[in-house]
Amino acid sequence: MLLVLASTSPFRQALLQRLQLPFETFNPNIDESSQPHEKPEDLVQRLAILKAQAAQSSYPDALIIGSDQVAVVENKILGKPLTHDKAVEQLTFLSGKKVVFQTGLCVFNSKTKETLVDLISFTVKFRDLKKEQIERYLHKEPAYNCAGSFKSESLGIALVESMEGNDPNALIGLPLIRLIQMLEQLNYAVL
């Protein structure tokens, strides 16, 4: 059965490539706005489902993967900073704090309409950061397109005091351990 990643994220594509499975990508192009009073956990699961289902007319006989992630600190969702000033502001705010990265994951069988969805959490405790450290980091690695303004898979690890979770891939946006389990649940052999 064809495997489709409903994402244009180069990070998610690189993660899925680690499994050495053939797959196609699809741009889900959905509205990612949260609904009034929607909890971050509900938001990411709803968006993961919508992303996967957005590809069903283009791929009527496929397993479609949808994923969405938010970074949450003190009940506040952090978006992608997009600019240097916003990234400095975010990392200054995150200094010494714990951030929970919530990832919604969905595998949707477009032929049978069977839908598996889950929530995977990963917690990062940031070091106490000085302004000079933040500036040096962003100069070397401008992580403006990443929630939390850092990339744990590269130099961003220098900003971290500790991490807690079952799958470090979840932090990058695609929890591979849970994805493998879901694919196998739908009779798609990874190995």
Which residues participate in catalysis according to the annotation?
68
CA separation, residue 34 to residues 38, 79, 111, 143, 155 (Å): 6, 12, 28, 23, 31
41 exposed, middle or buried (CB, 10 Å; 0-12, 13-18, 19+)?
Answer: middle
Only one residue has tokens 């600019």, namely 83
> What's the one-letter identity of residue 36?
P
